[in-house]
Amino acid sequence: MKPFGYERAADAEGALATMARPGTEYLAGGTNLVDLMKLGVATPEVLVDLGGLPYRDIEEPPGGGLYIGALVSNTDLAVHPAVEAAYPAVSQAVLAGASGQLRNRATVAGNLLQRTRCRYFQDLTKACAKRVPGTGCAARDGEHHDLAILGASPQCIATNPSDLAVALSIMDASVQYLGPHGPAAISVHDFFRRPGDRPDRDTNLPHGALITAVALPELPIAAASRYRKVRDRASFAFAAGSVAAALDVRDGVVHDVRLAWGAVAHLPWRCWAAERALRGAPATAESYARAAEAELAGARPLRDNAYKVPLLRNLTVEVLLEMTP
């Protein structure tokens, strides 16, 4: 690990000012960044510790919804009564990720900003356009069984590793941040980005911006939401595929539905086509399968990850059937 400087931010303004210097990165829980520093993938010159900033509360605003501070730990988020009651998929997604020890340390903002676990991104001896733009993607001809089947580009087939982000996608969450021009917000759907020809950029967050909170709108359908994750082993593993779902069935017909998939793309994949196909359709296994297939029509699997197509179809059908009254 190369030498680096360390500063502890006394306030948000100071953090932003320090971050404006080249080679500076924020440090919150450090559960991802420190690992990347050990591998030589991340080489910051200065770390700005955000641990003293006042973003550790979960608030219930008068207008409904939740306001989740950026430094709330994953553990505190998962077990908060308001989250468990009104947004259970969020709680389930967090509990499906990592170990208890990591959840105690990891933060909400850090969860959203974590980098891909693609082995080629983490290996400095391999070509990776996400790590070094323009160098190509060794994963395409290499080991890619856990990588993207949707929304990829010739430059990158990495997947987003966040379980939380998938659940937030069906909640229409927004990310609140402080930037050079003051407070701002961005929808979770615009926060993450496809790789295109700049796979080194995971999000559309302005450079140096400081995430302060994640806002969840009041959303009655979310109270019946679920998150299901399939992985290679039973615990402490990233997803091979995952589904976040919320479903409202009335008189045997799908009145409303929200679906998102994880581990299939560079970002949490909101299933807009499947949702359109399901609204007004019979709440049956056949309808659910057709909707999933409509979403998967755009899939472009490679040699070793084509299994994700039937996996996501079958997992979606199973989750929706379990939610159907």
Question: Residues with Cβ < 8 Å from 187, sequence gap 6 or more?
Answer: 172, 173, 174, 175
- Which whole number is the average pLDDT over 6-18? 96
- Which whole number is the average pLDDT over 122-148? 97
Token pair recorded at residue 1:
């690990």
Residue found under tokens 């988020």: 77
- Which whole number is the average pLDDT over 104-119? 97
- Which whole number is the average pLDDT over 253-275? 98
Report helix, strand or coil for 276: helix
Tell me yes or no: is domain 1-52 CATH 3.30.43.10.
yes
Q: What does the pLDDT read at residue 98?
A: 84
Q: What does the pLDDT read at residue 304?
A: 97
Q: Where are the domains of the chain?
A: 1-52, 222-323
Q: Is the pLDDT of residue 147 over 80?
A: yes
Task: Give the burial class of 297: count Cβ atoms within 10 A of its Cβ; 0-12 exposed, 13-18 middle, 19 or more buried.
Answer: exposed
The residues with which 250 forms a beta bridge, in sequence order, are 253
Does the CA dihedral 272-275-276-277 come out positive or negative?
positive
Of 170, 205, 175, give the one whose Cα is nearest residue 187. 175
Of 111, 58, 39, 74, give the one whose Cα is nearest residue 262. 111
pLDDT in tens, 161-190: 999 999 999 999 999 999 988 999 999 999
The residues with which 24 forms a beta bridge, in sequence order, are 46
Q: What does the pLDDT read at residue 237?
A: 83
Which amino acid makes up residue 35? Answer: D
Token pair recorded at residue 153:
């580009």
Q: Is the pLDDT of residue 28 over 90?
A: yes
Of 134, 133, 32, 39, give the one whose Cα is nearest residue 74. 32
Please, are residues 294 and 278 in contact by the beta-carbon 8 Å criterion? no
CATH superfamily of 222-323: CO dehydrogenase flavoprotein, C-terminal domain (3.30.390.50)
Angle of CA points 259, 146, 269, to nearest 5°: 20
